[in-house]
Amino acid sequence: MKPPFGVVDADGHINEPEARLLDFLEPPYREFLHPSLANPNGTIYPTNSLAPKLAPGLDPTLGGRLGSNGPVGFPAPADWLEAMEAGGLAMTVLYPTTLLGYSAIIDPDYLVAITRAYNTYVYEDWLKVNPRFQAVALMPLLEVEESVKELRRAVTELGFVGAFLPATGFGLLGEKRLHPLYAEAERLGCVIAVHGGHATAEYMRYTRFIQRHTIGFPVSNIIQMTHMTYEGIFALFPTLRVAYLEAGCTWVPYMLNRMDDEWEKRGEVEAPQCKQKPSTYIKSDRVFFHAESGEDLIPQVLDILGDNSLVYASDWPHWDHEYPQSVGHLWERQDLSESQKRAMLADNARAMYGLKTAVTAPEGTD
């Protein structure tokens, strides 16, 4: 059953096509860099120059049975709009697919060029098509000054609702070098969305993709939330909104207890910019987490964080999405109040992204 109001999807995806990105790449890259984004079956993570494949011997496709996000060119805006009706989505906020791994690009000039090309492509092919599409912009974090300029362009000229930062590949996100970007995001009133990824290290020698996919996303978000909190990002930028996505939410209470305990013992010396208990910042209604509809402990997380911190995300059309069933599953849960479910399915995402438009029920909602 669909909710009787329009759901706001905090994290949907597009499959950015090579040809269109090349259309927007600035010279000289358009002439000689020809990245491949997906094979003819739409399978993501082939060898390509935009985001190198995960690792030799790890197969996310299970021999082609999984890992495909549809044929080349899917989803087009019409495909997304049709899918939105199936789950009663009023709006979706779009993230990339292959360029989720854009932090693997080591040429800073090319990184600036490809992020600008992607952001312009999303504006031209998605945001201008229908106001039900919103998006977060890529940031070329190897060049912080360029990231500030690109965030300003994306938000003020193109209408993006925030910046997407991968949780892996660009180092620790609490570093001082990123302060100008956070200051600009705070000034613009837009969200910094940290999207989980495949946390790796030399000692993490995964032998199966299932291991990497299970552990990488929450661990990468744990690392970034811990570093950003201890390094004072939430204290230095008191109105900055930050989200940690695609890792569920039930890890958060554990980390709050652990961070508070460490801070009380060592914070005065080793985390002087963190002026209050870490949990105080995380519970402040400006830090958001994606809740998986099947997480058993959502009620307990809400008891700790309050009702304003969790958001729904479809992850459509990625191979492991559970949309539209995930909407119905969350809405029909008996261990949550109606107001809690509405907050997760619509109101919190609107607050997180600063969405001003009213959420109304699309046609066909029950």
Judged against a pLDDT cut of 50, whether residue 365 lies above it is answered with no
Q: Which helix (H) or strand (E) holds 348?
A: helix 348-353
Q: How many CB atoms lie within 10 A of CB 82?
A: 11
Backbone angles phi, psi at 11, to 5 degrees: -160, 90
> What is the CATH topology of the domain spanning 7-353?
TIM Barrel (3.20.20)
The domain locations on the chain are 7-353
Q: Quick one: pLDDT band at residue 349, thresholds 50, 70, 90?
A: very high
Give the model confidence (pLDDT) of 105-151 as tens digits: 888 998 999 999 999 999 999 999 999 999 999 999 999 999 999 99
**pTM tops 0.75:** yes
Give the model confidence (pLDDT) of 203-243 as tens digits: 567 788 888 888 889 999 999 999 999 999 999 999 999 99
- Looking at residue 32, its pLDDT comes to 60
Q: What CA–CA distances, in Å, run from 163 to 11, 94, 238?
A: 13, 11, 18
Judged against a pLDDT cut of 60, whether residue 39 lies above it is answered with no
- Looking at residue 59, its pLDDT comes to 67
Judged against a pLDDT cut of 90, whether residue 43 lies above it is answered with no
Judged against a pLDDT cut of 50, whether residue 177 lies above it is answered with yes
- Tell me the three state secondary structure of residue 337: coil
Q: Which two tokens stand for residue 250?
A: 């039930």
| DSSP, residue by residue, 267-314 | HHHH-TT--S-HHHHHTSSSEEEEPPTT-TTHHHHHHHH-TTSEE---
Q: Quick one: pLDDT band at residue 85, thresholds 50, 70, 90?
A: very high
